[in-house]
Amino acid sequence: MIDPIKPPRRKNPLLRTRLPALPPRPRSRTSHGFTRAAAEGRFVLQRCEACGCFAYPAREACPSCLFDGLTFVEAPRRGMLLAETTARVPSDVYFRERAPWRIGLVKMDCGPTIVAHLHADCVEGAAVRMSLQLDKSGQAVAFAHPEGETANMADDKQWREMTADPKFRRVLVTNGRSVIGQEAAVALRAAGAKTVFVGVAEPWRPFAGENLLRGQDGIEIVTLDAADEKVVADLAADIGGKVDILVNTTEYVRPGGLLDRRGTSIARDEIDQAYLGFINLAQAFGPAMRMRGADGINSSAAWVNILSVYALANWPAFGAYSASQAACLSLSHSLRAELRPGGVRVMNLFTGPVDTEWFQTVPPPKVAPRAIAQAIVSGLKGGLEEMYVGDVAEEIRQRLAANPKALERELDR
Amino acid sequence: MTNSLRAPYDGVVIAAPVTIPYVRYSIESAQWWIGRALSALVAQAGIKASDIDGMCVSSFTMGTDSGVGLTQHFGLCVRWLDTIPLGGASAIAGLRKAARAVQARDADIVACIAGDTNHVDSFRLTLENFSRFNQDAVYPYGAGGANSSFALIARNYMRTFGVTREDVGRIAVAQRTNALCNPHALMKTPLTMEQYLAARPISDPIHLFDCVMPCAGAEAFLVMREETATSLALPAVRLLSTIERHNAFADDPMQVRGGWAMDVGELYAMAGVKPDDLDVVQTYDDYPVITMMQFEDLGFCRKGEGAAFVRQHDLTIDGDFPHNTSGGQLSVGQAGAAGAYLGLVEGLRQVLGTAGPTQVGNASLALASGFGMINYDRGLASGAAIFAGPSR
């Protein structure tokens, strides 16, 4: 039984901000099969293609039959907690600062035994449900949960290290003029965020959906145009020290590829808004977020990008737009590495065409902005790094994994 | 007891047990400690370094060196060489290999050495880089090191067999009593059961006095044929039997027994002795609960009776079951891989009658065991040896 976490007090500006430490990072290359699954919230184990036995930790050959075909496959999550211990004097700074830290040995129903972080409500001798999570180092770790729901489950101290739960945190949503931005602000507030700052360019100009934001408790409209370096810097000077989660909802969608456009002015706008806007935001807000990764209950925790799934495979009908998204995707990997020392997560949500004005001529299925907003919240609560929202995005993901060349040909229509 | 088909160790002896006294921290390198041990071996045996034609080394902190680098470092020219990275099982494994080498005349005098330094940060680095499974699937979980891994094993063992902390504590307390006779033990103050029970928790149920203190030091001995020892007029110990086993009982969901349980029959059959015949026993005591497990697996009592066994016996030097007479790693310190040698080297001194203040009266037959490498969820390596002094 866990006591709910309490809203943090106002920060004492005279005290030194405690610098983030990270849990041990080194892993074998094979072990990153778990990282890949954890990024998407899947639970996998290696399974021998020859004899079917599950193995753990990551191996290069099957311990039953020596076959080298061990594939990471979805595995049953249930296991039994055999024994637990509480490390009170860990040898590493990250855990020493967070001690006592509870771990246990879990015998999985499918065979292997796994050393796992324990949710406080796990009981020795009882069943547990295993998940793979990304720790503050961004590496996959096994996390054992009690089999059923328990009170204040998400407030568990060790679990909160694995997630970027919006509860009591302060969020900046960068574009409140978009429906996605508006839905995201409302959903994050509903998920327990203390304050949601919503960026709006020239906020004195009325805009559709304004009533969802203006005057709402815990939602604050701020002046922000991601493409304007000065405006971004001004906002960061004002609220940069209290942005715990940044949701980059900047969007600039225009149809067309190369030949049917004349010149580079539209492409330049796409780059200005999406790519350079991303850079402006990262340079203004990133350094403070990286510093504040261990700043208590409302430490900085995550950076979220909403990207088109066509960042992964170009869709010529929106060819230049796809390219701007690919540029942002690549940049997000740089940001992820650069925010790593702060333990700040970078989560990318890939979506298909959204049900908004600029995709008017695109046939369904299209993604509802509300679905994206809900995905943001559930991704932060689950500590994910990669999400595919909607049927189109999920289909592109699968087709890309199956045959990228086939996908390229088939998008060319 | 089973009959052994293995060739006996006829004519194989061990001599010149050497301990380089431990220090908590050392600014010297592992190579320095190994060099001191080598020098002491030569001095104690009254030989020249060039007489050593075989070497077997174990160390966690040699950096990029292996045994071959040490030959040049120390000006040795050997025709038989081994580097054994088996942690707490290194001494038994090294002894086994050296014994067969001298028996087959691949070498005449083999120096078996373990030495490690302990810089302020080296223990943490050893924990971090212990093994691939440890790196991937243990260390990132609380970074408790061996303490947490053995805590899980201890908790399960204690619950399964109804063992209390006080039962386990008897081993630690008795060893401290022994250590007070050993001027080289790092722990120099008496330990009462009350103090043991009141110690601060490290990783439940492991408390402070269940843990060894990492330190720097070295241990060594020579393995040769009996006629070599005679020609050198060296008092020598006859090797009677050994066992070694790795990754035993892999299907046990948690470790409640070590590899000894697989081979213990052969251990006594090969030596032609019974557990009762032993005068001194030196177990591998990285944690007292592991020693309790060895009392069972090495045949002194049945599985699950370890706690009753320690309640019924006096484990001190003057007791009815003299055990870890130097104080063991728990009280002397754990000098890395030298921890594997500590019990064996003390056992050699016991049956040679040269143990000095820790000497057990009329000791002539001893057993030493090793245990090592908690690669993932259990100690993988185990071994044991029985040996007899000149008086037997």
Model confidence pLDDT, tens digit, residues A1-52 = 899 999 999 988 899 999 999 999 999 999 999 999 999 999 999 999 999 9
Q: Which residues of A touch B380 (CB under 8 A)?
A: none
Given CB atoms, is A48 within the 8 Å cutoff of chain B?
A: no
Nearest CA in chain A to B144: A90
**Which residue, A23, A372, A370, A347, is CA-closest to A164?**
A347
B252 contacts chain A (CB < 8 A): no
Does residue A357 surpass a pLDDT of 90?
no
Torsion, Cα B71 B76 B80 B84, to 10 degrees, reads -40
Query: What mean pLDDT do residues B72-89 have?
Result: 97
- Asked if B326 and B206 count as a contact pair (C-beta separation under 8 A), the reply is no
In tens, the pLDDT along B10-65 reads 999 999 999 999 999 999 999 999 999 999 999 999 999 999 999 999 999 998 89
Q: Is the pLDDT assigned to residue A170 strictly greater than 80?
A: yes
Mean pLDDT of chain A: 96
Residue B246 pLDDT > 80: yes
Could you check whether the bond before residue A100 is cis, i.e. omega within 30 degrees of 0? yes
Q: At residue B69, does pLDDT exceed 80? A: yes
What pLDDT shows up at residue B121? 83
Q: What is the pLDDT averaged over residues A180-186? A: 97
- Residues linked to residue B14 through DSSP beta bridges, in sequence order: B223, B237
Mean pLDDT of chain B: 96
Instruction: Give how far B375 is from chain A: nearest CA, Å.
Output: 11
Q: Is A8 on the interface with B (CB under 8 A)?
A: no
Chain A CA closest to residue B157: A83
Q: Is A405 a residue whose pLDDT tops 80?
A: yes
Burial class (CB in 10 A: 0-12, 13-18, 19+), A60: exposed
pLDDT tens, B363-376? 999 999 999 999 99
Q: Which is nearest to A122 in space by CA: A153, A144, A100?
A: A144
B335 φ, ψ (degrees, to nearest 5)? -90, 65
Per-residue pLDDT tens over the stretch A44-93: 999 999 999 999 999 999 999 999 999 999 999 999 999 999 999 998 99
B5 class by beta-carbon count within 10 Å (0-12 exposed, 13-18 middle, 19+ buried): exposed
pLDDT tens-digit profile of B258-294?
999 999 999 999 999 999 999 999 999 999 999 999 9
* Phi, psi (deg, nearest 5) at residue B28: -80, 170
Is B155 close to A83, i.e. CB distance below 8 A?
yes
Using the predicted structure, report yes or no on whether residue A220 has a pLDDT greater than 60. Answer: yes
pLDDT(A411) > 70: yes
Q: What is the pLDDT of residue A226?
A: 97
CA distance A216 to A68: 58
Dihedral pair phi/psi, residue B151, rounded to 5°: -60, -40
Helical segments of B4-29, H only: none
Cβ–Cβ below 8 Å for A83 and B254 = yes
pLDDT digits over B204-228, tens only?
A: 999 999 999 999 999 999 999 999 9
Could you read off the pLDDT of B153-196 as tens digits, one per residue? 999 999 999 999 999 999 999 999 999 999 999 999 999 999 99
When pLDDT is averaged across residues A296-308 and rounded to a whole number, the result is: 96
SS (H, E, C) A36-101: HHHHHCCCEEEEECCCCCEECCCCCCCCCCCCCCEEEEECCCEEEEEEEEEECCCCCHHHHHHCCE
Of B123, B137, B204, Cβ closest to residue A85: B204
Amino acid A171: pLDDT: 98
- The burial class, CB within 10 Å (0-12 / 13-18 / 19+), for B251 is exposed
| CB proximity A29 to B under 8 Å | no
CA distance A313 to A400: 8
Kindly indicate the confidence band of residue B4, based on its pLDDT and cuts at 50, 70 and 90.
low
Q: Which of B141, B155, B377 sits opposite A141 (nearest CB)?
A: B141
- Gyration radius (Cα) of chain B, Å: 19
Pairing relationship of beta strands A54-55 and A101-108 according to DSSP bridges: unpaired
The answer to whether the peptide bond before residue B21 is cis (omega within 30 degrees of 0) is no
pLDDT for the residue numbered A342: 97
Tell me what ipTM this predicted complex has. Answer: 0.91
Residue A27, amino acid: R
Chain B residues touching A85 at Cβ < 8 A: 144, 148, 151-152, 155, 203-206
Query: Which of A351-365, B191-205, B296-310, B359-373 bottoms out in mean pLDDT, i.e. has the lowest?
Result: A351-365
Q: Is the bond leading into B205 cis (omega within 30 degrees of zero)?
A: yes
Does A341 lie at the interface with B, CB-CB under 8 angstroms? no
pLDDT at B3 over 80: no
Cβ-Cβ contacts under 8 Å, B200 against chain A: 88
Query: What percentage of chain B has pLDDT greater than the value 90?
Result: 93
Q: Give the pLDDT score at B145.
A: 86
Burial of A14 per CB tally in 10 Å (0-12, 13-18, 19+): exposed
Query: How are beta strands A170-173 and A245-248 bridged, if at all?
Result: parallel
**Phi and psi (nearest 5°) for B294?**
-70, -35
Q: Does B376 contact chain A (CB < 8 Å)?
A: yes
- Interchain contact A58–B (C-beta under 8 A): yes
In this prediction, residue B392 has a pLDDT band, given cuts at 50, 70 and 90, of confident
Pairs of CB atoms within 8 A across A/B: 120
**Which stretches of A123-257 are DSSP H helices?**
157-162, 179-190, 210-213, 229-239
What is the rounded distance in angstroms from the CA atom of residue A313 to the CA atom of residue A335? Answer: 21
Predicted TM-score of the model (pTM)? 0.94
Residue A108's nearest CA partner among A180, A43, A179, A12 is A43
Which of B125, B141, B213 is most worth mutating to test chain A (most A CB atoms within 10 A of its CB)? B141
Q: Is the peptide bond before B322 cis (omega within 30 degrees of 0)?
A: no
